[in-house]
Amino acid sequence: MILDLILLRHGIAEDVSSDNLDSSRKLTEKGKKKLRDNLPVLIPFIDSGHPIEVWTSPLTRAKETADILMPLIKSAELVICDFVAHGDFQSFWAALDKLEDNKKHTIIIVGHEPYLGNWSSELCGLRLPFRKGAAAGIKLNKRDAIDSELKWFLQPKEMSRLIIRKKQN
């Protein structure tokens, strides 16, 4: 089965949380604003004619990023996935196996570096340098990961440029 996969790195987060736990680091106000400004650029890349699931890391900054994304996508389902926080590619692949083969899906992963870059390398042979808020679209071959194809890759600066261009037209 072929499906659409979008890898999205969380936005700009605080350096240290009040409890000194990495898992509870929150997005900064600047990070939230940049995501609110930039994430609408992704909507034309998302085919809403079939099931859409947002699989997010349970870490606070990723969940907050997913919370900003969710209102932009009609009828998406949010799923918290521990394996995203740890970059466990085998668990990711096992979760894909549970999807119905006869239905097209879009899966959006909200996660962290270096794991997203590692996964892009596993899937299409390119280790993408995900800055905070960057996204990549991959046409994923569920039968053969390395046969997957990078369709697009946007860093936050490119997203901002697309927004400015759209406003000018």
User: For the chain, which domains are there?
Assistant: 2-71+91-168 (3.40.50.1240)
In the chain, what's the furthest Cα-to-Cα distance? 46
- Compute CA 7 distance to the chain's CA centroid, rounded to the nearest angstrom: 3
d(CA 140, CA 84): 17
Question: Which residues neighbour 42 within 8 Å (Cβ) at sequence distance 6 or greater?
Answer: 6, 8, 69, 72, 135, 154, 159
pLDDT per residue, tens digit, the chain (169 aa), is 678 999 999 999 999 877 888 888 999 999 999 999 999 999 999 877 888 999 999 999 999 999 999 999 988 999 999 999 999 999 999 998 888 776 788 999 999 999 999 999 999 889 999 999 999 999 987 667 677 899 999 999 999 888 776 666 6
Question: Residues 14, 25: contact at Cβ < 8 Å?
Answer: yes
d(CA 122, CA 116): 10
Q: Which residues of 116-143 are buried (b: 16+ CB within 10 A; e: fewer)?
A: bbebbeebbeeebebebbbbbbbebbbe
Q: Give the pLDDT of residue 167.
A: 67
d(CA 69, CA 72): 6
Predicted structure pTM score: 0.93
Question: Residues 80, 104: contact at Cβ < 8 Å?
Answer: no
Ramachandran quadrant class, 123 (left: phi over 0; alpha: psi -120 to 50; beta: rest): alpha
Q: Give the pLDDT of residue 87.
A: 96
